[in-house]
Amino acid sequence: MSTAQKTLYERLGGYDAIAALAADLLSRLQADPQLGRFWANRGVDSLKRELQLLIDFFCSRTGGPVYYLGHDVRTIHHGMNISESDWAKFLDHAGTTLNKFSVPAAEQSELVSMVQSFKNDIVE
Ligand code: HEM
């Protein structure tokens, strides 16, 4: 299969690579002084469940052989009062994670476009 025909999932390196990206990003979000409030006082099990759902979401959205069984993105975030400024911080952390794992520019921009397509469902 040529590069052009490969799914984003495959080009990112498949399940394990995407799982590593999601784990790195989630821990950065939790550690951020502004964003940390969204994850304050959450139990270990609920964080593990969230990470698994995040992995499933990204795998399935990038064309991987994974079913995402979580709620839709709007329902999940509705009522959290996520602001433009929170969104900008989220994108900063996503960029740091993608660079840390040396994800090439083309794949970064595809992934970021996919994420941006959900902005209106998340920012209130
Ligand atoms: C500033 C940006 C964001 C913040 C503060 C945020 C916050 C959160 C929080 C606190 C949860 C846990 C909800 C719970 O279990 O009660 C969550 C879950 C989740 N988020 Fe986000 N999120 C952000 C951006 C995104 C983006 C861009 C996506 C994907 C496009 C996303 C996808 C998900 C998914 C798939 C889950 C787990 C699904 C589920 O619990 O059913 N989030 N988010």
| Ligand 1 pocket, residue 123 CB under 6 Å | no
Separation of alpha carbons 63 and 23, rounded Å:
19
Task: Give the domain 14-122 fold.
Answer: Globin-like (1.10.490)
Q: What pLDDT is attached to residue 2? A: 58
- Per residue in 52-93, pLDDT (tens digit) is 999 999 999 999 999 999 999 999 999 999 999 999 999 999
Between the CA of 76 and the centroid of ligand 1 the distance, in Å, is: 6
Question: Where do the structural domains in the chain lie, given as residue ranges?
Answer: 14-122
Q: What pLDDT is attached to residue 87? A: 98
Contacts 24+ apart (CB under 8 A), 96-99: 96/28, 97/21, 97/24, 97/25, 97/28, 98/21
Between the CA of 103 and the centroid of ligand 1 the distance, in Å, is: 22
Separation of alpha carbons 4 and 19, rounded Å:
23
- Per residue in 27-57, pLDDT (tens digit) is 999 999 999 999 999 999 999 999 999 999 9
| Ligand 1 pocket, residue 35 CB under 6 Å | yes
Between the CA of 53 and the centroid of ligand 1 the distance, in Å, is: 9
